[in-house]
Structure 1
Amino acid sequence: MADNRTPLLRSLPFIIALSAPAPTMASWSIENDLSTPDKHGLFEIREEARRFISKENAKGLQQWDVLEPNLKTFVPRCAVPLEARWTPKSFGLSRRSVMVICTVALANVAMENWSVHVPVRRKQNVD
């Protein structure tokens, strides 16, 4: 009978290990994904997209809300101020987005520059 329980007992540490990160991940948010000396934070990337959209919204043509960039995005720290502009339609993205651009990343073998696409959506009428 002990033989039947052995596989369950062996898998118990694995099951516990899988559930251990859950509380940590639940407390993570884009608000605390700030830049470090090595990586550029998603918070700052989203804020650059918000500045761009704020200027676009001030033009009064259409009103937009900025959503969150892909939370799996990891880019090296940018050595120059970020830029933002509309993502060209030729990029083939399925939804409208703002392209946040770093033209010079800090010394990094993998990326000399990068861009992150931050999705946007039209604001709902609040009448």
Structure 2
Amino acid sequence: MTRRTVLPLLLLFASAPCFAAWSIETDRSTAKMHGLFEIREEARSFVAKENAATRSGWEALDPNLKILVPRCSVPLETKWTPHSYGLTGRNVMVSCARTVGTPQKWNVNVPVTRKK
């Protein structure tokens, strides 16, 4: 092998521990970004209340790990994602009405499934 083919392989193997160390459990909120961990926990809380009220068996999954949203400056809101959004399956919409520093809003849809 030449140096040109070995170098990318070495870089790939060297970066693997960095990717392995990242998970939704470690993706917590910072001063500027809202963590996926907190978003997932908000969805789980909503689903637990819905399950208790309706005796249903839903379980919140993880949000899309590619999502990056600014820090919310007000309490998060949750509701079932409307069918008009065109998502497949059931989802919980976690919403922020106002972010820190900018007048932005965001919604993150967290998929749910039936408990096994």
Q: Which has the larger radius of gyration?
A: 1
Matched, 1:23 2:17: yes
Q: CA deviation at 1:90?
A: 0.3
Matched, 1:120 2:112: yes
| Residues 1-127 of structure 1 mapped to structure 2, 5 A cutoff | 8-108=2-102, 112-124=104-116
Which deviates more from structure 2 when the two are superposed, residues 38-47 or residues 52-61? 52-61
| TM-score normalised per structure 1 | 0.86
**Which stretches of structure 1, 4 residues or more, deviate above 3 A after TM superposition?**
none
- Matched AA of 1:66: A
- In 1: Cα distance, 2:49 partner to 2:56 partner: 11
| TM-score normalised per structure 2 | 0.94
Report the aligned-residue RMSD. Answer: 1.3
Deviations 1:56-78 (A, max 9, x none): 00013421011000000000000
Q: CA deviation at 1:19?
A: 2.1
- In 2: Cα distance, 1:9 partner to 1:71 partner: 34
- In 1: Cα distance, 2:28 partner to 2:7 partner: 33
Deviations 1:68-93 (A, max 9, x none): 00000000000000000000000000
- In 1: Cα distance, 2:38 partner to 2:4 partner: 44
Q: CA deviation at 1:15?
A: 1.6
